[in-house]
Structure 1
Amino acid sequence: MFHVRGLSYRYPKAEVPTIHELNFDIHQGEIFGLLGPSGVGKSTTQKILTKLIRDYEGVVKFRGKSLKDYDKQYFQQIGVGFEMPVHFSKLTAEENLAFFKKLYRSTADTDALLKRVGLYDHRKKKVREYSKGMKIRLNFVRALLNNPLMLFLDEPTNGLDPANARVIKEMIKEFRERGGTVLLTTHLMNDVEELCDRVAFMADGRIVEIDSPKHLKLRDGERTVVVEYEDHEEIKQVSFDLDQLRQNEEFIHIVQHYKILTMHTKETTLEDIFIQTTGVQAHE
Structure 2
Amino acid sequence: MIHVNHLSFSYTKQPFISDMTFSVSPGEIFGFLGPSGAGKSTLQKVLTGMLASYQGSAMVNGVECRERTRDFYEDIGVDFEFSALYEKLTARENLRFFASLYEKKPCPIDELLETVGLERDGDKRVSQYSKGMKARLNFVRALLHDPSLLCLDEPTNGLDPANSRMMKDMILAQKAKGKTILLTTHNMQDAAELCDRVAFIVSGRICALDSPHNLIMSQGAATVTYTWLENGEHSAACPLHRLSADGQLKRLISENRLQSIHSSEPTLNDIFMDITGRTLI
Give yes or no for TM over 0.5: yes
Which residue identity is paired with 2:65?
Answer: L
- Distance apart, 1:55 and its partner CA: 1.9
Paired position in structure 2 for 1:181: 180
- Asked if residue 107 in structure 1 is aligned to residue 87 in structure 2, the reply is no
Give runs of aligned pairs for residues 1-284 of structure 1, distance below 5 A: 1-11=1-11, 14-104=12-102, 105-228=104-227, 231=229, 236-256=234-254, 257-258=256-257, 261-265=260-264, 267-282=265-280
Which residue identity is paired with 1:119?
Answer: L
What runs of 5+ residues in structure 2 fail to find an aligned partner? Answer: none
Q: Deviations over 1:4-27 (max 9, x none)?
A: 00111112xx12111111101111
Q: Which secondary structure state, in structure 2, belongs to the residue aligned with residue 201 of structure 1? A: strand
Q: How many residues align?
A: 278
Indicate if the aligned counterparts of 2:77 and 2:151 stay in contact, CA closer than 8 A: yes
Which residue identity is paired with 1:89?
Answer: E
- Distance apart, 1:260 and its partner CA: 5.5
Indicate if the aligned counterparts of 1:228 and 1:263 stay in contact, CA closer than 8 A: no
**In 2, distance between residues paired with 1:187 and 1:65?**
28
What runs of 5+ residues in structure 1 fail to find an aligned partner? Answer: none
Q: Check 1:76–1:268 CA distance in 2 against 1; reply closer, same or farther (3 A cut).
A: same
**In 1, distance between residues paired with 2:203 and 2:38?**
5
Q: Check 1:259–1:186 CA distance in 2 against 1; reply closer, same or farther (3 A cut).
A: same
Q: Deviations over 1:64-92 (max 9, x none)?
A: 34334431111010000110112111111
Indicate if the aligned counterparts of 1:203 and 1:277 stay in contact, CA closer than 8 A: no
Q: Which secondary structure state, in structure 1, belongs to the residue aligned with residue 42 of structure 2? A: helix
Q: Which secondary structure state, in structure 1, belongs to the residue aligned with residue 44 of structure 2? A: helix
- Distance apart, 1:157 and its partner CA: 1.1
**In 2, distance between residues paired with 1:223 and 1:43?**
33
Q: Deviations over 1:102-134 (max 9, x none)?
A: 112132233233223222221111111111121
Task: Supply the RMSD in Å over aligned alpha carbons.
Answer: 2.0
Q: Which secondary structure state, in structure 2, belongs to the residue aligned with residue 15 of structure 1? A: coil
Indicate if the aligned counterparts of 1:110 and 1:141 stay in contact, CA closer than 8 A: no
**In 2, distance between residues paired with 1:161 and 1:240?**
38
**In 2, distance between residues paired with 1:133 and 1:165?**
8
Indicate if the aligned counterparts of 1:127 and 1:135 stay in contact, CA closer than 8 A: yes
- Distance apart, 1:238 and its partner CA: 2.0
Q: Which secondary structure state, in structure 1, belongs to the residue aligned with residue 165 of structure 2? A: helix
